[in-house]
Each structure stands twice: as C-alpha cells, then as structure tokens.
Amino acid sequence: MIFGIPKEVAPFKDTPEYRVGLSPMGVNELLSHGARFYVESKAGEGAGFSDSEYEKAGATIVYSKEEAYRRADVVLKVRRPQQEEYSYIKEGQTIMGFMHLVTARKEFIKVVKEKKITLVGYEIIQKDDGRLPVVIPMSEIAGKLSVQIAGRLLESHHGGRGILLGGIPGIPPAEIMVLGGGTLGCNAAKSFAGIGANVYVLDISRDKLDDIACHTTGLKVTTMFATHHNLVKLVKFADVIICAVLVPGKRSPILIKKDMVQSMRQGSVIIDFSIDQGGCCETSKITPSGKFIYTVDGVIHFCMPNATTLVARTATHTITSSIFPYLKIMSETGVESALRENSDLKRGIYVEKGRIKEEYVS
C-alpha cells in the first residue's frame, strides 16, 4: 500500500495550515505492516517535523506536491484538497482527511465525480456505538484551546471587554455560554470552570447535560436546555459564547440569530467551532480573505475552520493516533477490502468511486 502525504495548502491567505496528514511516528509504525510513504518536502515543517525525521522513519521525500499525489494509492490529508491540488489527483485514488463535503466547492465535487475518487471523511468515521473516533480527540483539543483563544480576544488591545476570565477576589469572573454539550462543549466547560469562570452549558439532550454535570462536580457549571427562551436570556450577559454544535456530515443549525448578537455587550466574544460545517451563529462566516477574527455589532467573532492548527504538533499526533488502526488495516488488506469490511471506515465514506452517498447530497 502506497500512501502520499502532501504539504497542506492554506484554504485562504489569512487562514494558515500547519498540521500534516501523518507524523513520522505513524510512518515508522506502518512500515512493518507493508506500507510505503512518499512525503512532500517540508510537509511536516509547520508541526515541527523535519524531512530528516520522516526519512529516518522510512519515508521517501519528494520535492513536488504532484509527485506526492501521483505516486500514492491513498493520499493522507488533513483538510480536503484545495483548488491548486485538483489537477494532481489521479483517477480512482482514495483521499482521506476532514472533508466537510457540505461546504465544499462545486468544482471539487465535479473533480471527484469525473475522476471516480473515493473520499473518506475523518469527521464521519463512526463506531457501532455511535462514537466518532477521530472527531472526539480533536474536539477535546478544541475545547481546551477555547480558553486560550477567549482569554486573548477578551484583552483590551484586541477590542475585548478587558476582563480576566477567572476574575480575582472582589472582582467577578467572566460569564461563559457553551452551546453544545458534546466532547468539545464538555472540555470547554471544564477548562473555563477550572480557572474560575462562570459557565452555562446548553444542549437539547438530557443525557448530555447529565454527563456534563457528572464531569463538572464542584465546578461553577450550570446546565440548561437549549430552548429559544434560554438562548435569548443568556446571550445578553455572556462575555464569551462557544458554539460547539455538530451534526455529522450535515450543515450546522443556526441557533444564534442576528438580533441575539445585537443584544450582546460590546467587546464580548463568539467562538464558532461549528464554522467548518457552516457555523451555528447567523453572523458567523468565512470571509473571502480567510480573515477569521472580525467584529459584527461590536461583538468579536472567531471563525477559524481549522482552529486546531494553532496547536499543530498536538493535533497531528492526535490525528495519527486516531487513524492509525484504520491505516494498519488498509496496509495489510488493501483499500477496497478495508473499506468494505471495516464498519467504522464504511460509515466514513462520503464518495465511493465517484458516487456520492445519497445522505450527503443536499
């Protein structure tokens, strides 16, 4: 089995991408299972992995993106291919990564159909019990990262409210609203509460709210149902809103309307982690330039579709450990056999030989 690892292309000028499809450790571990690797020079540079580390791991370094694609049976990406990569994709190839097909360019869909490509989306690989084995650890990273992002954006020189998340004796802490009680929301709640902020977690699932309550015993976390009434009430005094709503493979529902944003305090912050699926705030967007921090009605928005790239080394190690079991199966049995026989991978197929699965056609 031949894998290609091209250097990631930033989706926009102002949106960097530092992650890489597989770490040198992953390359080394898979060699003993019959895999071969062609890695584009400097593919791992942004995550702190040098070409020499990949060579020591057993990979062959190539000096063009085209060669990393053309030599491979399976291309390991982090994000779906960008426009400049379309011509390098070869007929019948398998491409794996966070594909988020619901927000893909029509041109990309056309290329995939014409070249009979198979697309495996990490975000929809699913176990029999419904767990998302690649999304869950990446969501843990995003949840913990949200505290770092929010703290900086609230600072005065960023136009924020100039408040300390955890407060100090005599000065109240920040009010944090977390919309979505899944893995990301739970980790965000624990992280914010852990430094002393007041946290409110909203979800439509009683089970998720019960789980949040169990994981945050002794912390300042309040759980609430995500009703329209509660949303309207909380946005008015929230200093930070974390949008963490996920519907696998589908567009995120818009839950925070424009008039709610207008009711927020000047210098407050919205961090929309749902943006790679369209965003769950009506004022969330990916700007033409890719500038992912902008202000609407005095409210700072953070809408970076690849936010975990800010901690690229941790994210790359996480991707590697999450997809390793599936790449091992592919290396030993071949792509078609693995996609046919492994139920997790089968659920992760967006497109098979150019045919888009019906449930992902909108």
Contact 173, 197 (CB under 8 A): yes
Q: Which tokens in the block code for residue 303?
A: 């809408």
User: Which helix H or strand E contains 168, and what residues bound it?
Assistant: none
Angle at 160 between CA 159 and CA 164, to 5 degrees: 140
Q: Decide the pairing of beta strands 36-40 and 94-98.
A: unpaired
Q: Kindly tell me the number of DSSP H helices and DSSP E strands found in the chain.
A: 12, 15
Give the residue among 280, 327, 321, 316 at the shortest CA–CA distance from 301. Answer: 280
Q: Which tokens in the block code for residue 89?
A: 């994709």
Q: What is the DSSP letter of 73?
A: S
10 Å Cβ neighbour count for 243?
25
Q: Which tokens in the block code for residue 87?
A: 């011509």
- Helices 206-215 and 183-194: crossing angle in degrees, nearest 10, is 30
10 Å Cβ neighbour count for 213?
14
Cα–Cα distances in Å, from 97 out to 248, 260, 356?
14, 35, 16
The span from the CA of 120 to the CA of 133, in Å, is 14
- Kindly tell me the burial class for residue 357, based on how many C-beta atoms sit within 10 Å of its own C-beta (0-12, 13-18, 19 or more): middle
Q: Which residues of 273-306 are buried (b: 16+ CB within 10 A; e: fewer)?
A: bbbbbbbbbebbbbeeebebbeebeebbbbbbbb
Active-site residue list: 100, 276
The span from the CA of 209 to the CA of 230, in Å, is 15
Within 13 Å, how many C-alpha atoms sit on residue 55's CB side?
7
